[in-house]
């Protein structure tokens, strides 16, 4: 066999092996397991967010800061749902989700959105923050839930439902004068 054919065969085999990892991931991941690299990646992301990752992402797209914090919090929801064996990590999940949700409620977190929309700050903001806050309630023991968080979540869900009920279209405003199917 010619050397280039051997090289092509080896390269093809390596490519197939690497591609197979996309379809058959390692056994340490799954709907009930947390991968070993998850906690270090989340620690890295938190450190980056504590410095300036949000504003950097905001420079890349209009909701960059918002999405970075929302997805960070939702990642911690997934940690909480998987109930890792590490008790400290399990206990950290609600704290980190609460931190991300609190940031989204700040002027910086709401900056891309308009307060006067229905629901307040628009459906994009309402949907993502409710998803995050609902995840927090889901991973928190019912006996340990803050009644104020539960009440605020329920009120905001009702406000979103009312906005849909009273809307002339199924597409609520996401931005001032703009409605598009977001989800």
Report the C-alpha gap between 19 and 110 in whole angstroms.
40
More confident residue, 89 or 154: 154
Amino acid 66: pLDDT:
94
Has residue 62 got a pLDDT over 60?
A: yes
* Averaged pLDDT for residues 130-152: 96
Q: Is the pLDDT of residue 26 over 70?
A: no
Tell me, yes or no, whether 40 lies in a domain: yes
In a domain, 1, yes or no: no
Query: 100-107, long-range: CB within 8 Å, 24+ apart, which pairs?
Result: 100/69, 100/70, 100/72, 100/73, 100/76, 100/132, 101/73, 101/129, 101/132, 101/133, 101/136, 103/54, 103/69, 104/66, 104/69, 104/70, 104/73, 104/128, 104/129, 104/132, 105/129
Contacts of 113 (CB under 8 A, 6+ apart): 121, 122, 124, 125, 175
Flag the least confident range among 6-20, 51-65, 122-136: 6-20
Tell whether 110 is covered by a domain. Answer: yes
- Per-residue pLDDT for 138 more than 60? yes
Mean pLDDT, rounded, for 152-160: 96
pLDDT at residue 161 in the model: 95
Note whether residue 22 is domain-resident: no
Q: Are 26 and 63 in contact (CB under 8 A)?
A: no
Count Cβ atoms below 10 Å from residue 150 Cβ, excluding itself: 14
Q: Assign 179 to helix, strand or coil.
A: strand
In this prediction, residues 20-43 reach a mean pLDDT of: 74
The Cα–Cα gap between 116 and 158 comes to: 17
Count of the separate structural domains present in the chain: 1
Q: Is pLDDT at 104 greater than 60 in this prediction? A: yes
pLDDT at residue 37, rounded to an integer: 82
**149 inside domain:** yes
State the pLDDT at residue 179.
63
SS (HEC) of 41-85: HHHHHHHHHHHCHHHHHHCCCCCHHHHHHHHHHHHHHHHHHHCCC
Q: Is 58 inside a domain boundary?
A: yes
pTM, two decimals, is 0.81
The alpha carbon of 167 is separated from its chain's Cα centroid by a whole number of angstroms, namely 27
Quick one: pLDDT at residue 163?
94
Lowest mean pLDDT among 15-29, 83-97, 158-172: 15-29
Give the confidence band of 36 by pLDDT, cuts at 50, 70, 90.
confident
Residue 59 lies in a domain: yes
- In a domain? residue 25: no
Nearest Cα neighbor of 126 from 108, 114, 141 is 114
State the pLDDT confidence band at 27, using cuts at 50, 70 and 90.
low
Q: Which residue segment(s) compose the domain that 107 sits in?
A: 34-179
């Amino acid at each position: 066999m010619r050397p280039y054919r051997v090289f092509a065969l080896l390269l093809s085999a390596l490519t197939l092996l690497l591609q197979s990892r996309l379809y058959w991931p390692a056994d340490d991941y799954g709907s009930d397991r947390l991968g070993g690299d998850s906690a270090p990646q989340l620690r890295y992301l938190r450190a980056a967010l504590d410095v300036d990752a949000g504003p950097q992402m905001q420079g890349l797209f209009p909701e960059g800061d918002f999405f970075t914090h929302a997805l960070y919090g939702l990642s911690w929801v997934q940690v909480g749902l998987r109930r890792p064996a590490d008790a400290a990590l399990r206990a950290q999940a609600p704290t980190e989700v609460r931190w991300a949700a609190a940031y989204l409620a700040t002027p910086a977190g709401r900056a891309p959105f308009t307060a006067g929309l229905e629901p307040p700050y628009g459906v994009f903001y309402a949907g993502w923050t409710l998803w995050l806050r609902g995840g927090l309630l889901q991973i928190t023991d019912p006996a340990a839930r803050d009644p104020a968080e539960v009440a605020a979540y329920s009120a905001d869900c009702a406000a979103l439902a009312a906005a849909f009920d009273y809307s002339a279209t199924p597409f609520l405003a996401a931005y001032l004068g703009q409605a598009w199917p977001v989800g």
